[in-house]
């Protein structure tokens, strides 16, 4: 028996596309995770800083991150490398 985890607020349409919020597709999971990693913000603090995001969306994004950490960390590294190359 195979079980598949569901993240009700997260969408990942294709394997090669980044995971993002369903309701606000321009917000990627990696962007939310960057607030967690860079500032050490809790989900509640992220909600205060970004009131247009719900606690459910933020918790789902963090759950997705902890279950797919290698994928999201790789996305963040690639984005950081791109920024560094443009300097």
What CA–CA distances, in Å, run from 32 to 42, 65, 70, 76, 83? 11, 9, 15, 11, 18
Tell me the average pLDDT across 9-19. 92
Q: Residue 4 above 60 pLDDT?
A: yes
Q: Is the pTM of this model over 0.75?
A: yes
Q: What is the pLDDT of residue 63?
A: 97
Residue range 21-77, pLDDT digits in tens: 999 999 999 999 999 999 999 999 999 999 999 999 999 999 999 999 999 999 999
Say yes or no to pLDDT of 2 above 60.
Answer: no
């Amino acid at each position: 028996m195979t079980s598949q985890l569901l993240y009700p607020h997260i969408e990942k349409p294709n394997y090669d596309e980044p995971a993002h919020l369903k309701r606000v597709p321009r917000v990627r999971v990696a962007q939310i995770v960057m607030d967690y990693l860079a500032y050490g913000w809790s989900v509640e603090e992220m909600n205060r800083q970004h009131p247009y995001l719900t606690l459910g969306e933020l918790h789902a994004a963090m759950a997705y991150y902890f279950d797919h950490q290698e994928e999201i960390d790789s996305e963040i590294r690639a984005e950081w490398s791109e920024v560094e190359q443009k300097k």
